[in-house]
Chain A
């Protein structure tokens, strides 16, 4: 656990963007992991297993705090007025995370910040690989629409 502690902290921090709360999440995840260590089937997948616990603890933490607002699904279509957006150049995905429901944030963190393959993401999220792909693209599409809408609003001001 010592080896991946920084990764776990960063992961937790992305959810709350606050040192104290991120430490609370890591603490709870460590406690739960210790209690269920014997249940871990494949020690070689320790990092995958502990990442999943951190995600669940972060979601529990967010649910308890219930102080987030995020964009809704299915916003109105806006006319595309520029070339396709290059994710990392154009968007600050780190900032965009705050616009997503907590359940969707892990997809962005795993893919774009931790550079995980879809296969690894599927393991961490306990979902089929195809579901991970579909969900990620849906989240990106939603973000794209939201950010374009924001651009139009700020341009009009």
Chain B
């Protein structure tokens, strides 16, 4: 019997269909969980934003140049807002240190911003924007506009395994503060960057991180696997990417987290504890 004949004669187990159906069920459950998680984190973030809005140090700065069009919904630093939409197109315009993110459906401006979240992380100092219910984005134009802001060090996309969401990271220069304002009628988001009131001394921050890898499906799946643990995707010094969890002040805290992750059933891709300065990218 030739190799090909042996290949063709490999016996197909009767359980194959059942195994595949079970895998699809597992995928469906995972997707549902992620949707719920995203929904609940938007809700939590929105509540947090309400509290933060009162206390944002840069609110005065954010409102210093309120645009004539649109009415302000909120000003925040960390949190989210917007309304559930689908198929929204995203465009950007830039003015000195202000970025405006506009939204439209079939060429007409939307009355409110789509559901979004903003998060801030250190090591390095970066803002993570996520927009849900959007499908069309000129990524290159967005990057070009954000890079034009003089307080921005870098901008890059994240992989989201959901083609109705986009996520991008704006890496800020040292001692830069910001405000995010949401407007309605028309809906748009305004990011303002300005000098921080107090200078921050660089310090070491500890993370549980993955190996460096290209921006692709593997990275996206790993990030999704640990989304519930607060994972983020960070660009490395060499231009690749890692999935990182934590942002601790001590190495012990990161080691404890790693221990918990290793003991979990879904642990596969090797993770390690690493530390780098709060104003630097990982190696």
**Interface residues in chain A, defined as those with a beta carbon under 8 Å from any beta carbon in chain B:** 1-2, 5-6, 9-10, 13-14, 19, 23, 26-32, 34-36, 38-39, 60, 64, 88-89, 91-97, 109, 112-113, 115
- A92 near B6 with CB under 8 A, answer yes
Q: Which of B17-57 contact A (CB under 8 A)?
A: 17, 19-20, 22-24, 26-28, 30-31
Chain B interface bracket (under 10, 10 to 19, 20 to 34, 35 or more): 20 to 34
In the bound assembly, the distance between CA atoms of A48 and B16 in angstroms comes to 20
- Report A-chain residues with C-beta under 8 Å of the C-beta of B22: 27
On whether the beta carbons of A27 and B3 are closer than 8 Å, the reply is: no
In the complex, B162 has a CB within 8 A of chain A: yes
Would you list the 4 A-B pairs with minimal beta carbon distance, nearest first? A34-B27, A93-B3, A30-B23, A94-B3
Q: A31-B27, A34-B27, A95-B3 are in contact. Are A5 and B10 (CB under 8 A)?
A: no
- Which residues in B have some Cβ–Cβ distance to A below 8 Å? 2-4, 6-8, 10-13, 15-17, 19-20, 22-24, 26-28, 30-31, 161-163, 217, 221, 224, 268
CB distance from A8 to the nearest CB of B (A): 9
In contact, B28 and A34 (Cβ under 8 angstroms): yes
Q: Which of B3, B163, B268 contacts A113 (CB 8 A)?
A: B3
Q: How far is the CA of A10 from the CA of B6 in the complex (A)?
A: 10
Question: Smallest CB–CB gap between A38 and chain B, Å?
Answer: 4
Find chain B residues with CB under 8 A from A19 CB.
11, 13
B19 touching A96, Cβ below 8 Å: no
Q: Known: A23-B15, A88-B3, A88-B4. Is A34-B10 also a contact (CB below 8 A)?
A: no
Instruction: Give the secondary structure class of A's interface.
Output: helix
User: Do A35 and B27 touch (CB < 8 A)?
Assistant: yes
| A13–B11 CA distance with the chains assembled, in angstroms | 10
List the A side residues contacting B2 at CB < 8 Å: 88-89, 92-93
B interface, over-half SS: helix
- What number of A-B contacts does a CB cutoff of 8 Å give? 94
Assess A38 versus B16: contact at CB under 8 Å? Given A28-B23, A92-B3: no
Residues in chain A near residue B20, CB distance under 8 A: 1-2, 5, 26-27, 30
Q: Which residues of A contact B6 (CB under 8 A)?
A: 92, 94
Residue among B28, B30, B161 facing the most chain A CB atoms (10 A cut-off): B161
User: Nearest-CB distance from B14 to chain A (Å)?
Assistant: 11
Partner of A6 from the list B16, B23, B162 (CB cut-off 8 Å) is: B16
- Residues of A with C-beta under 8 A to B7: 10, 14, 94, 109, 113
- For the complex formed, measure the closest distance between the CB of B268 and the CB atoms of chain A, giving whole angstroms: 7
